[in-house]
Amino acid sequence: MSAAFPLLLHQSRLLHGPEEQRALGAALTEVLPPGAVLFLEGELGAGKTTLTGGLVEALGFAEPVTSPTYALMHPYPTPAGRVLHVDAYRVRDAGELYEMDLEDLIVQSRLTVIEWGEGLYADYPDAPILWLEHVPGEPDVRRATRVR
């Protein structure tokens, strides 16, 4: 829990390289309750999928995690329960995701991570939102900030 603690206080945290991005994802599995939804927002290439990979790996999924940009959703079965990874970037409105039974899939998942999901914020008002961004002049450093 200590690795995620600063984000719980709405502070920023610098992540030095992909290993720290994955470590933050792993730490979040300790503080997010079963059934939680987590929104990841930020710049392209800022590490949203890398962070998700750490989260999924920490729950016992051993295969590579990839961005669901074109598929919209990737379910990852883990010993702790399914992790649903959603990318809403190409979705014009939230109704498209609900037509794909998103609500049922979320209820049946241990954890749901939604990238680019601002159209769903109102439906999950208690879900934390993490913003990931590049740090200027530091190609391998990202800043993670909890904004809600």
Structural domains of the chain in order of their starting residue, each with its CATH number: 5-143 (3.40.50.300)
User: Global pTM?
Assistant: 0.89
From residue 43, alpha-carbon distances to 31, 48, 82, 145 in Å are 24, 9, 26, 13
Q: Which residues of 69-85 are buried (b: 16+ CB within 10 A; e: fewer)?
A: eeebbbebebeebbbbb
The residue-averaged pLDDT of 134-138 equals 96
The pLDDT of residue 10 is 63
Tens digit of each residue's pLDDT (9 = 90 or more) over 22-56: 999 999 999 999 999 999 999 999 999 999 999 99
Amino acid at 126: D
Please count the CA atoms within 13 angstroms of the CA of 85 that sit on its side-chain side. Answer: 25
List CB contacts of 135: < 8 A, sequence separation 6 or more: 14, 141, 142, 143
From residue 98, alpha-carbon distances to 33, 61, 93, 104, 121 in Å are 23, 26, 10, 9, 14
Tens digit of each residue's pLDDT (9 = 90 or more) over 67-78: 998 888 999 999
Tens digit of each residue's pLDDT (9 = 90 or more) over 96-109: 777 778 888 899 99
**Smallest Cα–Cα separation from 116: which of 57, 29, 46?**
46
